[in-house]
Every structure is written in structure tokens, then in C-alpha cells.
Amino acid sequence: MKSAILLFLVILIIAGCKPLVNKMAFHPDTKKVFSTDQLPENVQEIFIETKDHVKIHSYFILDEASEKILIYFHGNAGNICQRLPDLMQLNSLGTNVFGVSYRGYGKSQGKPNEKGIYLDGKAALNYVIQKLGFAENNIIILGRSIGSTVAIHITQNKNINGLILVSPLTNGKEQAKVSGLGFISFLSGKSFDNIGKIINISCPILIIHGTQDEVIPFEMGKMLFDKAKSKKQFVGIESAGHNDLSTKYQESYWTAISEFIKN
């Protein structure tokens, strides 16, 4: 009788693992957003539609002198509005910029989940190519933290100009372990499998990781770097954590990205 109850509980857990994984992975903010009239003059607000008909909020910042565009995928908390300073800084480095808020984040429709954010990423890439008119080989994709999973997923087998990964994780199971959830890490299955997908990247790769990252260990960035097969560069920023790379350690961080964009 006890074994039957235990089996039933295991089945219930496994059946509900996807909602649980989503609950742990995503922390969207739908309140701290900018109205259109609050945006700087050079920032254009755009809503794009995904394959499954979800409207996604994004920002486009033009650089008429550049043929390149960088697509930016943020971390698991907040929304794209809160990354506007980073988008504007990227634009100042001499590239067009397109920043995306995942489904359920900011002004975007829907609820976040792994499959969904990959659809969001593909919609952004398609929009940049088909609507904005950028050539695939002039597109740079940047993914930070959980955004690295979107960046890697949509860059697979593409003729992209370059891929930038900031504080990337290896996969969901290992991330659950380092987050103190090792006892239920099996629920993650093959979620967010960066380590398995990075071998399918053929473009140049830049990985940036703080040596004292308290959320996604520095070693994860190194593991991805070692696994990658294309031309690659690793920048370890001494003493940097997970959330202070672009601020407290801005000189090292922005210099590495600037040089990569210009190559």
C-alpha cells in the first residue's frame, strides 16, 4: 500500500514538473514598464508576433552608420524596460540594437516557459531579417544568464555574425543543483540544455563570466567554452558577481563586447 502511494506521488510530481521548472526559472515583472512617451527619441517600441500568436514587446535602436544589429536577450527577472540602459550602451558601441521582453514579461502577452521563450527568440530573429532587412551574417546575438539559452537555441546551425554569452548556465539540471535544489533536480530533465546545443554553433563566440558569480558558477561558463567547437574567446572578470558585470566592472565588460562587435 505504501509503495503504491509513493508511486502515485512520484507520478504526480513528474506530471507537474514543467510548471514547477517554469516557476523556479522565470521571475517576470509586468509593473515596472515605460510608457511610449517616456522613451528616448531614438528608441522605437515594437510589438512582434510569435509563431503561436503571442505579441512580444521589444525595443529597436537605430544606428544608420552600421550594417550590424545586436539582438539582446535578458535574464530571468524584470523585463526589457529595465535593460534599456544596457541597450543604449550597446548602441553607443556602433551597432543597431533589438531588445526583447519574453512572453509574460513587461508588456508582452502570455506566460513564460522554456518552449515559449525559444519561440520568442525565433520571432525576434525573423523580424530582424524579414522586417528590418538585416542580413543573417550581420546579426550578433547576446544572451545574458537564462537569456543565454534563447541565444544558443536560435543560433544553432545559423550563419550568424557572432554570439555573446554573459554568465551562461550549462543546463537546467546542473543549475538546480547549484541553487540548492539537488533533491529535485531530476525534474529539470533536459531543460535549458546549453551544453548539448553549443556544439551546433559555427559562428565566433564570446563568453563573459564573473569569477565570483553567486548565481551561475564561473565553472559553467568555462564548461561551455571548452565544449564549443567554433572560434571562441573567454573573458573571466576577476571578483565580479552575477549582477554587477556591466556596472561595477563596466570597463572590462564593455571593452570585451565592443572589440567583439567590431571584429
Instruction: State pLDDT tens for residues 196-243.
Output: 999 999 999 999 999 999 999 999 999 999 999 999 999 999 999 999
| Top-level class of domain 2-262 | alpha beta
Other CB atoms within a 10 A radius of the CB of residue 10 amount to 10
**Which stretch of DSSP H or E encloses residue 2?**
helix 2-15
Please state, in angstroms and rounded to a whole number, the distance separating the CA atoms of residues 150 and 173.
Answer: 17
- Of 149, 144, 143, nearest to 245 by C-alpha is 144
Other CB atoms within a 10 A radius of the CB of residue 40 amount to 10
Please classify residue 64 by burial: count the beta carbons closer than 10 Å to its beta carbon, then call 0-12 exposed, 13-18 middle and 19+ buried.
exposed
Question: What percentage of the chain carries pLDDT values higher than 90?
Answer: 80
From the list 145, 167, 188, 246, the catalytic residue is 145
Helix pair angle (114-130, 17-25), 10° resolution: 60
Question: What pTM was estimated for this model as a whole?
Answer: 0.89
Told to judge if 242 belongs to the known catalytic residues of this protein, a careful annotator would answer yes
From the list 74, 153, 209, 242, the catalytic residue is 242
Query: What grid cell was written down for 185?
Result: 533536480
As a whole number, mean pLDDT of residues 30-55 equals 96
Told to judge if 35 belongs to the known catalytic residues of this protein, a careful annotator would answer no
In sequence order, the 6+-apart residues with CB closer than 8 A to the CB of 159 are: 136, 137, 202, 203
Told to judge if 213 belongs to the known catalytic residues of this protein, a careful annotator would answer yes
